[in-house]
Amino acid sequence: MTAGHSADAAAKIAIITGGSRGLGRNTVVHLAQRGVSSIFTYRANRAEAEKVVSLVADEGQRAIALPLDTGKVSTFDSFAGQVRESLAQLGAERFDYLVNNAGTSHHMPFDKTSEEELDSLYNVHFKGVFFLTQKLLPLINDGGRIVNISSGLTRVAFPGSSSYASMKGAVEVLTRYLAKELGPRRIAVNTVAPGAVATDFSGGMVRDNPEINKRIADATALGRAGLPDDIGPMIAALLSEDNRWVNAQRIEVSGGLMI
């Protein structure tokens, strides 16, 4: 690798939605360990976002935290302006990687799910992903990469997850279309589908409920529930040049859940 290539690698910038907690936070930190700076979003908890900024600084990289509700498309123009300002702070005009990670959980039987609940899931998990990606396209470098976060629940049906999983299924289809339509710009687009992971997601039920944790572990070939450190490094690796030829794929990261 030439010095020029090395300098380029050090200058990579990622945008990660929902980067103040859970899998997003883990991804931001692992990207920093690979020399990638980040602009990441948080919904409300500024204090947690600042902790992530500090963790990235500990790795010798820079991170900028921006507030965003990914379910409110009307705010995306303003957000794109903030991204431009943040890129300027990082000495750049464009970014390289987009990780559409922000999400909300929902557990309700099909026949009990309300229209309002379905609309909320649609706004965050599909409409938000669709239009935020569209809004940021002019700012992503040709040859960049996009990762959309899905779920193992698109493959395995757990009662109570029909609405959430359906939105993630839509994102998986969108991923393939983006890979096709953005191909002329050499932008690779993939889906990462985590299994059950011990975070604060869904009220922390996999992390904090021993019965649920054991049930997941018993259904997983590798014998335990997932951890954030199982997912963040994988996303960071997928974004790297090593995986430049991986495109339009759904990659499940679940330790072999329900196989």
pLDDT digits (tens, 9 = 90+) for 119-166: 999 999 999 999 999 999 999 999 999 999 999 999 999 899 999 999
pLDDT at 10 over 90: no
Establish whether 164 is a catalytic residue.
yes
Residue for token digits 């600042």?
50
Asked if 65 and 19 touch (Cβ cutoff 8 Å), the reply is: yes
Tell me the three state secondary structure of residue 198.
coil
pTM of the predicted model as reported, rounded to 2 decimal places: 0.94
- Average pLDDT of the residues in 171-190: 98
One-letter identity of residue 128: G
Cα 246–250–256 angle (5° rounding)?
Answer: 115
Place of tokens 């299924």: 169
Catalytic residue, from 42, 97, 122, 164: name it.
164
| pLDDT tens sequence across 192-251 | 999 999 877 666 677 778 888 999 999 999 999 999 999 999 999 999 999 999 999 999
First to last CA, the chain: 40
Q: What is the pLDDT of residues 38-93, one digit of tens each?
A: 999 999 999 999 999 999 999 999 999 999 999 999 999 999 999 999 999 999 99
Task: Return the closest-CA partner of residue 124 out of 175, 171, 173, 69.
Answer: 69
**Paired tokens of 170:** 């839509």
* 3-253: CATH topology: Rossmann fold (3.40.50)
In degrees and rounded to multiples of 5, residue 253 shows phi and psi of -125, 85
Give the residue among 122, 141, 119, 144 at the shortest CA–CA distance from 131: 122
Taking CA 23 as the corner, what is the angle to CA 20 and CA 174, rounded to the nearest 5 degrees? 105
Site of tokens 């995306």: 76
- Residue for token pair 């970014």: 95
Please report the pLDDT score of residue 6 as a whole number.
39
- The SS3 assignment for 37 reads strand
Is pLDDT above 60 for 185? yes
DSSP H or E stretch at residue 144:
strand 140-149
- Let me know: does 99 contact 26? Beta carbons within 8 Å: no
Report d(CA 147, CA 190) in Å as an integer: 5
**Residues 6 or more apart from 215 whose CB is under 8 A from it?**
none
